[in-house]
Amino acid sequence: MSIAQAHFSEQAWFRAIYADEEPIGFVMLHIASDYDDEIDVDGAFLWRFMIAGPHQGKGYGKQAIDLLINKLKAQGMNELVTSCGEGEDSPLAFYKRLGFTLNGDTFGDEIGLVIKF
């Protein structure tokens, strides 16, 4: 669904995440505000981020976010915004370990987070 959605958004950027030759995840950004996509963030918004269950806890997610931040820095950006739900299966603790902080925004029923770099 994410790939199809990205093809209909001029602001979407997406890539697969690999460990050697094995696909293990997916990342999708939304660059700039677009009310059609219901995203009101001036810079980069981490729209989708997934690491397959068997590969979680191995550092791949952190490596992918680090690479993403380096890419955004090279493009002159200085923050990355995302959102997530709260609860038992929430990635909130993962994002906080990486340095994301709550930014006071909400996106639907999800809380907003930002990391500045």
pLDDT at 34 over 90: no
Inter-residue contact 46 to 81 (CB < 8 Å): yes
Tens digit of pLDDT for each residue in 44-101? 999 999 999 999 999 999 999 999 999 999 999 999 999 999 999 999 999 999 999 9
pLDDT at 38: 72
What are the chain's domains?
2-116 (3.40.630.30)
pLDDT at 37: 62
Contacts of 19 (CB under 8 A, 6+ apart): 55, 58, 60
pTM across the whole model: 0.90
SS3 of the chain: helix, strand, coil, percent, to 5: 30, 40, 30
